[in-house]
Homo-oligomer: A and B are copies of this chain.
Amino acid sequence: MRFTIDKEQFLKGLLIAGRGIGAKNANPLLLCFKMEMTNIGLEITASNGDVTVFTRVPLKLNEKEIIRNYSLGSSLITARSLTEIVRKMEGDELSLDIIDESVAKVDDGNTTFKLPCVAADEYPDIDLEKTGTVFSIPCTDLTRIIEQTAFAALDKDTRPILTAINLKAEGGLFTATATDSARLSRKSVHIDESVRFFANVSAKTINDIVKLFDNNYEVEICSTGEKMILSFGNTTVSTRLIAGDYPISKSIVPQDFNYSLQVNAAQLLNSIDRVSVLSTDSAAVVKLLMTNDGVEISSSGDQNGSGSEKLSIILYTGERLEIAFNALYVSQAVRALGSEDVVLKFVGEGKTFVIVDPKDDSIIELVTPRRTR
């Protein structure tokens, strides 16, 4: 195998495929890119066993020649080394040449690197064929859905199913739900009525995948029963499904509220941040005391001291209510909404409350309160 390639496009391909490479792997071949020069482009595959990324650097892009002077072939090259040297090289174009099957020579006319490489037939077989229902949605839509929900998934492996984001398409709605059991985030968008789809996939992985999207494309999605496969542009990604029943039903969202607090999102975030500054615990607890006279927000840093202030509000309706919550949960929910104002709606003391954007009912954030002392 040999080829001469546009440096920028080569690096772009390596960085995309690099999302499939883990920091460590028991199988050292899975720290390599599989590189295959074909008659339609340079194909780069990377996999950590759970996630596989395949991408193709085409021969031409917008009439510009990207790859020239190539001979077909394939090889395995350590992903980190190859990415780092390509990043550092200064030429606009560089050539890669496999010498005697065990050394890859990379050269930009000034700098020469020699990297060890391995025959490609030692790489595990990877199946990226899409089977079953395949549907498409715009990359921008899926990105927004994931950004607004994935943060609420459990971030440790104590209950694997809760590290998943639950994706579901039925009855004309595509819905994503994530929860760590103390808070929940759910977002729905309209989709063709015929689409039926279910998958539980790692929230962390899908959050990484959407970062690869080129927003001009649509993404094609299917679930094979074992994995979810996403294709966009020249790239295909598969991620293993997380086994188990996703433990959330529609009925957990409260319906009748007795208290409603509308505030500017930025002011609420600032106040939470300020009054919780003395907490050494990462899970700072903040308290709202709401009355018809105003709303006080406060936090106790225990032996470190305490802070309180009057919260600037837009509107409060309801009697006196005291609610304490995990500052991080409410801050993340408010940021996920991304709206100018937010409305917090309460059923009563100790009851799960919701945070919504008054102008967008496609997304809902639920938070379980903490005990007030």
Contact = CB atoms under 8 A, between A and B. Distances in A.
A116 B78 contact: no
Nearest to A89: B274
Contacts of A81: 278, 301, 304-305
A42 B277 CA distance: 24
Nearest to A108: B309
A273 to B, nearest CB: 7
A112 B308 contact: yes
Interface residues of A, number: 29
Interface in A87-126: 88-90, 110-116
A303 interface: yes
Which of A85, A277, A301, A305 has most chain B Cβ within 10 Å?
A305
Given A301-B81, A303-B116, A274 B111 contact: yes
A51 interface: no
Nearest to A312: B110
Contacts of A349: none
Contacts of A85: 277-278, 307
B78 A111 contact: no
Interface string A64-87: 000000000000001001001100
Contacts of A270: 90
A304 B273 contact: no
Contact of A110 (B78, B114, B304, B310): B310
Given A85-B278, A88-B273, A277-B84, A111 B309 contact: yes
Interface in A284-340: 301, 303-310
Contacts of A277: 84-85, 88
Contacts of A303: 116
Contacts of A116: 303-305
A275 interface: yes
Given A78-B304, A116-B303, A304-B115, A278 B309 contact: no
12 contacts: A81-B278, A81-B301, A81-B304, A88-B273, A88-B277, A90-B270, A111-B307, A113-B305, A114-B307, A115-B278, A116-B303, A116-B304
Given A111-B307, A115-B278, A116-B303, 14 more contacts: A81-B305, A84-B277, A84-B278, A85-B307, A88-B274, A90-B270, A90-B274, A110-B309, A111-B308, A112-B307, A112-B309, A113-B278, A113-B307, A116-B305
